[in-house]
Amino acid sequence: MITLKLDLKSDYEKGTDVAAKLLKEGKTVAIPTETVYGLAASAFDDEAIKNVFIAKGRPQDNPLIVHICDEAMLKRIAKNIPDRALECAEKFWPGPFTMVLEKTGETAKSVSAGLNTVAVRMPSNKTALDIIRKSGLALAAPSANSSGSPSPTKPCHVEADLDGKIDAIVFGENCEVGVESTVVSFCTNPPRLLRPGAVTEKQLRELIPDLEVDKAVLASLDKDEIAHSPGMKYKHYAPKAEAYLVEGDSGEFCEFVNSKKQAVAVCFEEDKNISINKIVYGNQKDESSLAKEVFAALREVDELGVKTAYIHAPSKNGIGLAVYNRLLRATAFKVIKL
């Protein structure tokens, strides 16, 4: 398959028109969002959705998020929406926030992977919203990476994973948030945080004081435990190198990695005394800088071709919880406490 490259810098209107047209024809198109790039297809077209699963190599039982641009689309897709969910939508949409709701049955079966619920989000990225609007469709879009590899925050990441496997890539800007949306299920009472993201636990508690945090956010599930968010049970975001998450202050971290001559350190700007190969992924005190760079840093680990990576663990404050959650999965829960 030849993947069409749509360059928005030369002609924004034409690029987004072509993307919308392809989506209406049942094609798969990678689009930018504010969180990570998504691999979009019509949420109403079962064949198109199947091609998304195939291109990513995604397990069939892992449902997709449906992207919408207005309330009419929400009502078409979800029903019996609780008031608290509507309040959250009012406050956090458009933005990096996904709600799991009771589904209407209008979306293709494969979107929800057999569940009777559907995940919905209204992104804030202008290009994503324009493409949804121009297509007139709700768009199912998982992250536009090969299943298991780090999520794509730049168009070149999408190209590296999916060129030749999908119909088109929209070359938009780099993603400003860098980690995937916060996912909350409103199908349980109280509502449950399934995946942390840029909309933080603290912000959610202002509207949902009794919010539950799913065990899978910070712990690995046992084999026989049910995954409330099916995506959380898979090995994810992982570089090919053996990766470890290392907890400790800057002095401890630098001393520890300096004894590992063959490895790479994935570290903070503040970690100045490192004498081995290093990849800086942001400023320790600014968790949003870490979110923005964490996936690109994991990809860089493999470009270096090293066998082992030691990643300095972020705080769990604010969006730091989302970064920590992704790194737990990238390291298959291998945590070293100094």
Under the rule (CB under 6 A), what is the footprint of ligand TXA?
33, 35-36, 38, 62-65, 96, 98, 100, 112, 115, 117-119, 121, 141-143, 180-181, 183, 194-195, 229-232
Selection from ligand TXA, Mg ion, none that 28 binds (CB < 5 to 8 A by kind) is none
Question: Residue with the closest Cβ to ligand TXA?
Answer: 231
Q: Select 220 or 273, whichever has its Cβ closest to ligand TXA.
A: 220
User: 270: helix, coil or strand?
Assistant: coil
Minimum distance from CB of 112 to ligand TXA (Å)? Answer: 5
Q: Select 95 or 320, whichever has its Cβ closest to ligand TXA.
A: 95
Q: Select 26 or 148, whichever has its Cβ closest to Mg ion.
A: 148
Bridge partners (DSSP) of residue 310 are 244, 265
Strand spans (E) along 152-280: 168-171, 182-185, 192-195, 212-213, 242-247, 264-267, 277-280
Selection from Mg ion, ligand TXA, none that 95 binds (CB < 5 to 8 A by kind) is none
Backbone angles phi, psi at 52, to 5 degrees: -65, -45
Minimum distance from CB of 142 to ligand TXA (Å)? Answer: 3
Minimum distance from CB of 155 to Mg ion (Å)? Answer: 17
Q: Select 168 or 254, whichever has its Cβ closest to ligand TXA.
A: 168
Selection from Mg ion, ligand TXA, none that 35 binds (CB < 5 to 8 A by kind) is ligand TXA
Selection from Mg ion, ligand TXA, none that 279 binds (CB < 5 to 8 A by kind) is none
Minimum distance from CB of 61 to Mg ion (Å)? Answer: 14
Q: Select 112 or 143, whichever has its Cβ closest to Mg ion.
A: 143
Applying CB under 5 A, the residues found at the interface with Mg ion are 143
Minimum distance from CB of 173 to ligand TXA (Å)? Answer: 14
Residue 289's alpha-carbon distances to 13, 217, 285, 318, 328, in angstroms, are 31, 21, 9, 12, 18
Minimum distance from CB of 310 to ligand TXA (Å)? Answer: 26
Q: Select 100 or 291, whichever has its Cβ closest to ligand TXA.
A: 100
Strands 97-103 and 182-185: what pairing?
parallel
Question: Residue with the closest Cβ to Mg ion?
Answer: 143
Which residues neighbour 337 within 8 Å (Cβ) at sequence distance 6 or greater? 247, 248
Torsion of CA 315, 321, 326, 330, to 10 degrees: 30
Amino acid at 231: G
Structure tokens at 268: 């903070």
Q: Select 36 or 69, whichever has its Cβ closest to ligand TXA.
A: 36
Q: Select 61 or 255, whichever has its Cβ closest to ligand TXA.
A: 61
What is residue 143's DSSP assignment?
Answer: B
Minimum distance from CB of 179 to ligand TXA (Å)? Answer: 8
Which residues neighbour 276 within 8 Å (Cβ) at sequence distance 6 or greater? 257, 258, 260, 261, 263, 264, 265
Selection from ligand TXA, Mg ion, none that 65 binds (CB < 5 to 8 A by kind) is ligand TXA
Minimum distance from CB of 196 to ligand TXA (Å)? Answer: 11
Selection from Mg ion, ligand TXA, none that 166 binds (CB < 5 to 8 A by kind) is none
Residue 206's alpha-carbon distances to 174, 200, 318, in angstroms, are 30, 10, 14
Strands 192-195 and 212-213: what pairing?
parallel
CA distance 124 to 261: 43
